[in-house]
Chain A
């Protein structure tokens, strides 16, 4: 599938568009190359635009998806994440928002079908609360994870690739951020700003969490930029942004992705923690808030009666976090060229075990 559709197949179709007709004529050869060298070769036919898009889609969408799917961890992880996303989008429409006095007070879970997870001390349905807390939670997670990753990647690569003064300045700033203890800083900011939008909360929670990651990325960039292929690209006059995008980033992607997921997890825990401690203002429903209430007003830590009120949001969080971990472990493989090769080139199914033969080859070489 990944192999190029050769021109013969398309040749017998009439050219579909003007562009193709021009291409068919075989035009622009290299200015200095003459036609009798392999340099001067021009195409004798054309690959239709559709074929090319198909190839791109195959390479960038289908193949990564297949790789993900072939790994059980990624499969389970993405299913879990998908479930939460559905809960946050479709779920909120299907499940009615919780209302006070909707049911009896403190109904235990699995007793009453209309309140599958039971109710709290005001008769609010706990399942509905969890479902309706999902959208702000997801927004917060996305905001925090994206913010951390983008900041870290931008600062890390810029500083590592540019070096010199830029590096010094950025890293000094970075180091200062790293040395400020995170939690007090977040508390101070939260108290001053009293953020209400989940997007903003996400950013505040990770306000200095990216600094460590930025440093790690910088040191990886420092190694990568010394690779021969990066130097070759530089010598070919390829622009710095292009080099960073094409030569540096792909090498970092597994690392970045794993850290993206990790920071998503830390956003969950931090936010829940902060809501639980009551530092962030209670505005909307939130798993952390639920836990806080169950503890403060329900005494969930002491009586079995209200335990489900505490446990339900807790388990929700644990499952999501678990899904994220599985997902991040599986995504590692998406960027591994050895795995990719197996999934994109249908041409040689034998490549399937080249990991193994590579291993043996090293044995032989000793």
Chain B
């Protein structure tokens, strides 16, 4: 199958030039789609921008092909190319052949617009990220289905029956969903509905471009496990495009890694994860935060991904590759076969394992404790900020019309009765699904959100008392305000778009050190910029935010917070919007600066891997939140490796790891959608979804308690109580399946295990 020679010996690096740039070797036996020499170019003032560079790849019938690449690697362009959907003014060249069953061949790029339109839904369909924008908000879901079916002249009755089947395959109640308007569905349900919609005309190929990126991990994982079922049931070939290697690792049959607008390594998922040979794949595996790799081994990839206008000569990865030599700089490597179906575009693939060692696998979990201490600061005995029984409730006013005055507003219990201490040099990571109140709690910690009840104290001084009675406070409010800072989630809006970096950074200094000489101010800003790796700093200081990348904006936001010399920084999903390979780098930087400036972090994340990395590396804690309550808190490694609360176990399950043996299985959970926070369940709030729930859980609320083993690990679950508790004697909660599907938001997993 392979045309390339895998016989060359590694010692004669200089002579192995014969293969030239033949990259047509990724073939499979029974392709449903063949892509040959596909390129996409844009003409720009600066030159030709090549955002897909001569790629050739086959998609096998009935396989799940995972395409992994960072943003700007050209992976979405590849998806568009498959369907000849490259936006103007991009120019697509090459060949895309679609082979439905039998010998028929369709030249996708040669189709008329009308034929293409038919092909797009009926044979190959596509799901993009951000389901919300794909729906028309003014018509019901049913109308969406009907429109699609009608437009393609399918039999309405049959197709609608199929739609209902698909919806229930995706664990949703077809009647309820079909009659809803898009905004009435949660994000996860919208995304599942979109999948059903894309499958309603029974296509053979489903192309998914980051279909789950906007969703919570738990929902992502749940959708993935559904995808696998769908694939089997309907004989689909799925192309799953993502930046998240661990996410797709367990799902895909084959993986293709993209770098700089071409595929650098393609192979069966097991081989590619177990024995990656391209230096980029190996570095990527090390860079992606996950639950398995020892913390000390995670390492960001140095350097930057290339600009599409100016891709380096020779191997495009050579500026960042530790193995690069003269050959790499001069020549573009062809695919070398690692095994018949595993190809790697690298001259030195045989040496890469040695040069970039990897240790994956479960047995080394939590290893590397020794080096982990690197960043651990000395935590104080006295808390810097201490929360006691804090409640935050929001009144949800309906549409704000005149009549709303007469309505009793719904109260959302964003934070319910939480006590938490943050020490000096501490790292506390709060994890949970969206809407669990973690950001609100974080804001309460830094005094940005006034609690409805309970106290928040800064070094013993009640923050809100200090604010209200400006004079009487032991520690003036001004001082407190200065000591508690925040870094926001979205790099796009964390800096004022109308101010240069310099002006944004000067603001805190002007406010707090008005006497400072302008030159000193300037110098200090420049040296900090340089410190966080933004050089030349003079140039960066004069830029506007739109001239910075996401990672650079987050760095500036970090500096801005640090210029205040704060005691606690709230980092609200500060790395979530960044590319996976950048996350480790930014988190490292944050920890390094913590060491330097003696700050504590309250780090908010929906991602357990990031939490593990951040808290673990600093010897901090992880707190798990569910519906406004803290259900488990403890040292990072303990929470990850020995979760006690059933919910933490679910989160642990939802965090994809690199273990490909472990296929995506059904979650240890009874329902996938979160209950409404306006009306949280009685007793233990998790009882509606908890697999261990018993009668007692519906009546009584467990409190956070230790294990009696002297650690800080605390869990709010009756299963931690001793045997005398009534939980152990009460009946398990059993649900009537029919009922559950009807009134539960989205149905239940109860019958998923049949």
Residue positions of A touching B, CB distance < 8 A = 2-4, 6-7, 22-23, 26-33, 37-47, 52, 227-229, 231-239, 242, 246-247, 250-251, 335, 337-338, 340-341, 344-345, 347-348, 350-354, 356-358, 360-361, 363-366
Closest 6 CB pairs of A and B: A366-B76, A43-B519, A228-B488, A250-B498, A43-B523, A353-B45
Would A229 and B484 count as touching, CB distance under 8 A? no
Interface presence of B551 (CB below 8 A): no
A232-B494, A353-B44 known, 16 other contacts, Cβ within 8 Å: A23-B520, A28-B513, A38-B528, A42-B517, A228-B488, A229-B495, A231-B488, A236-B485, A237-B511, A238-B508, A337-B498, A340-B544, A356-B44, A360-B308, A364-B72, A366-B76
Q: Which residues of A contact B345 (CB under 8 A)?
A: none
- The answer to whether A3 and B538 touch across the interface, beta carbons within 8 angstroms, is yes
In the bound complex, what is the Cα–Cα distance between A234 and B449 (angstroms)?
A: 12
Segment touching A, from B223-231, B311-319, B325-333, B557-565 = B557-565
Q: Are B542 and A43 in contact (CB under 8 A)?
A: no
Query: Once the chains bind, are A360 and B527 in contact (CB under 8 Å)?
Result: no
A246-B496, A246-B499 known; A337+B545 contact, CB < 8 A: yes
Docked pose: A33 CA to B80 CA in angstroms: 52
Interface check B35, CB cutoff 8 A: no
B42, A351: Cβ atoms closer than 8 Å = no
Question: For A7, what are the chain B residues with a Cβ–Cβ distance below 8 Å?
Answer: 519
Query: Can you identify 27 A-B contacts, CB atoms within 8 angstroms?
Result: A26-B517, A37-B596, A39-B597, A41-B528, A43-B517, A46-B519, A47-B519, A229-B493, A235-B446, A235-B485, A236-B481, A236-B508, A237-B511, A239-B511, A337-B497, A337-B498, A341-B547, A344-B542, A348-B539, A351-B547, A354-B547, A356-B46, A364-B71, A364-B77, A364-B308, A365-B76, A366-B79
Q: Does B10 contact A (CB under 8 A)?
A: no
Question: Is the CB–CB distance between A38 and B524 below 8 Å?
Answer: yes
In the assembled complex, B415 has its CB within 8 A of some CB on chain A:
no
Q: How far is the CA of A354 from the CA of B128 in the complex (A)?
A: 26
B355: CB under 8 A from chain A? no
A26 near B520 (CB under 8 angstroms)? Answer: yes
Docked-complex contact A39 and B524, CB < 8 angstroms: yes
A229 touches B494 (CB 8 A): yes
**Inter-subunit contact A29/B520 (CB<8 Å):** yes
Given A28-B516, A366-B128, CB of A228 within 8 Å of CB of B489: yes
Chain B residues with Cβ under 8 A from A341's Cβ?
A: 543-544, 546-547
CB–CB B547/A246 < 8 A: no
Q: Which residue of A lies closest to B503 (CB)?
A: A246
Which residues of A lie under 8 Å from residue B128 when comparing CB positions? 366
| Cβ-defined contact, B565 with A27, below 8 A | no
| B13 close to chain A: CB less than 8 A | no
Chain A residues whose CB sits within 8 angstroms of the CB of B490 once the complex forms = 228
- Least CB distance from B211 to A in Å reads 12
Asked, given contacts A38-B524, A38-B528, whether A235 binds B484 with beta carbons under 8 Å apart, the answer is: yes
Closest to B562 in A: A39
Contact indicator A347/B539 (Cβ below 8 Å): yes
A-B contact count (CB 8 A): 189
Contact at B565–A30, with CB atoms within 8 Å? yes
Q: B25 at interface (Cβ–Cβ under 8 A)?
A: no
For residue B71, which residues in chain A have a CB less than 8 angstroms away from its CB?
Answer: 364-365
User: Known contacts A3-B542, A38-B531, A365-B72: does B499 contact A250 (CB below 8 Å)?
Assistant: yes
Given A228-B490, A251-B498, A335-B498, the answer on whether A41 and B523 have CB atoms closer than 8 Å is yes
Chain A's interface: helix, strand, loop or mixed, by majority?
helix
What distance in Å separates the Cβ of B41 from its nearest Cβ neighbour in chain A?
Answer: 10
Residues of A within 8 A of B42 (CB): 360, 363
B522 at the binding interface (Cβ < 8 Å): yes
Cross-chain contact B517 with A363 (CB below 8 angstroms): no
A238 to B482, CA, bound (A): 10
B518 interfacial contact with A, CB 8 Å: yes
- Asked if residues A366 and B77 are in contact (CB atoms below 8 Å), the reply is yes
Is B478 part of the binding interface, using a Cβ–Cβ cutoff of 8 Å?
Answer: yes
Please name all residues of chain B whose beta carbon is closer than 8 Å to the beta carbon of A340 when the two chains form the complex.
544
Question: Considering the chains assembled together, what is the distance between the CA atoms of A364 and B71 in angstroms?
Answer: 8
Q: Which residues of A contact B520 (CB under 8 A)?
A: 23, 26-29, 41-43
CA distance A239 to B478 in the complex (A): 11
Residues of A within 8 A of B44 (CB): 353, 356-357, 360
A227 near B77 with CB under 8 A, answer no
Q: Quick check: B77 and A363 within 8 Å, CB to CB?
A: yes
Q: Which residue of B lies closest to A247 (CB)?
A: B496
Is B541 at the interface (CB under 8 A from chain A)?
A: yes
B234 within 8 A of A: no
B66 CB-CB contact with A under 8 Å: no
Minimal Cβ-Cβ distance residue in B for A29: B520
Contacting residues, chain B, for A348 (C-beta < 8 A) = 539
Q: Are B478 and A237 in contact (CB under 8 A)?
A: yes
> Which chain A residues lie closer than 8 Å to B493 at the CB level?
227-229
- Distance in angstroms from B181 CB to nearest chain A CB is 24
B265 in the interface, Cβ–Cβ < 8 Å? no
Bound: A136/B362 CA distance, A: 85
The verdict on B398 contacting chain A, using a C-beta distance below 8 Å, is no
Which residues in chain B, 449-487, are within 8 Å of chain A measured between CB atoms? Answer: 478, 481-482, 484-486
Q: Is the CB of B543 within 8 A of A52?
A: no
Please judge, given known A-B contacts A236-B511, A341-B546, whether A43 and B522 are in contact too, CB under 8 Å. Answer: yes
Whether A360 contacts B51 by the Cβ 8 Å rule is: yes
Does B702 count as interface, using CB distance less than 8 angstroms?
A: no
| Chain A hits for B90, CB < 8 A | 363
How long is the Cα–Cα vector from A156 to B677 in the complex, in angstroms? 34
Cβ 8 A contact of B76, one of A27, A237, A357, A364: A364
How far apart sit A229 and B71, CA to CA, in the bound complex (Å)? 25
Look across to chain A and name the residue whose beta carbon is closest to the beta carbon of B502. A4
Q: Are B546 and A361 closer than 8 Å at their CB atoms?
A: no
- Nearest residue (CB) in B for A227 is B493
Chain B residues with Cβ below 8 Å from A228 are: 488-490, 493-494
Q: Tell me if B154 counts as interface (CB < 8 A to partner A).
A: no
A199 to B250, CA, bound (A): 75
Contact A337 B544 (CB under 8 A): yes
B209 within 8 A of A: yes
A38's contact among B488, B518, B527, B547, by CB below 8 Å, is which? B527
The reply on B374 being an interface residue by CB < 8 A is no
* Closest CB in chain A relative to B44 CB, distance in Å: 5
* Minimum Cβ distance to chain A for residue B370 (Å): 27
Confirm or deny: B139 has a beta carbon within 8 angstroms of a beta carbon on chain A: no
Tell me, yes or no, whether B723 is within 8 Å of chain A by CB: no
A3 to chain B, nearest CB (A): 6
**A251 and B499 alpha carbons, distance in the complex (Å):** 10
B517→A28 contact, CB < 8 A:
yes
Identify B560's interface contact among A32, A232, A344, CB under 8 A: A232
| Shortest distance from the beta carbon of A311 to any chain B beta carbon, whole Å | 44
Report how far A364 CA is from B493 CA in the complex, Å.
21
Residues of B within 8 A of A227 (CB): 493
Closest chain-A Cβ to B573's Cβ sits at a distance in Å of 11
Question: Residue-by-residue, is B502-539 near A (CB-CB < 8 Å gives 1, otherwise 0)?
Answer: 00100110011101111110111001101100000011
Closest-by-CB residue of B relative to A23 is B517
**Could you give, for residues 119-157 of chain B, a 1 whenever the CB lies within 8 Å of some chain A CB and a 0 otherwise?**
000000000100000000000000000000000000000
Q: Would you call B434 an interface residue if the criterion is a C-beta within 8 Å of the partner chain's C-beta atoms?
A: no
Contacts A30-B513, A228-B489, A250-B498 hold; do A4 and B51 have CB atoms under 8 A apart? no
Closest residue to A361 on the B side, CB-wise? B72
